[in-house]
Amino acid sequence: MGKMLNCVKLGKEAEGMDRAPFPGEKGQRILESVSKEGWQQWMQHQTMLINENRLSVIEPKAREFLEAEMEKFLFGGGSDAPEGYVPPSS
pLDDT in tens, 6-55: 999 999 999 999 999 989 999 999 999 999 999 999 999 999 999 999 99
Question: Considering its fold, how many domains does the chain have in total?
Answer: 1
pLDDT at 84: 65
pLDDT at 86: 66
* pTM given for the model: 0.84
Is residue 81 in some structural domain? no
Pair 6, 26: CB distance under 8 Å: no
Is residue 87 in some structural domain? no
pLDDT at 79: 72
The domain in which residue 58 lies consists of: 4-75
For range 55-64, the mean pLDDT: 95
Query: In this structure, what is the dihedral angle of CA atoms 63, 68, 74, 44, given to the nearest 10 degrees?
Result: -40
Is residue 85 in some structural domain? no
Is residue 86 in some structural domain? no
pLDDT band at 1 (very low <50, low <70, confident <90, very high): low
Is residue 29 in some structural domain? yes
Is residue 46 in some structural domain? yes
Is residue 90 in some structural domain? no
What CATH code is carried by the domain that includes residue 31? 1.10.3880.10
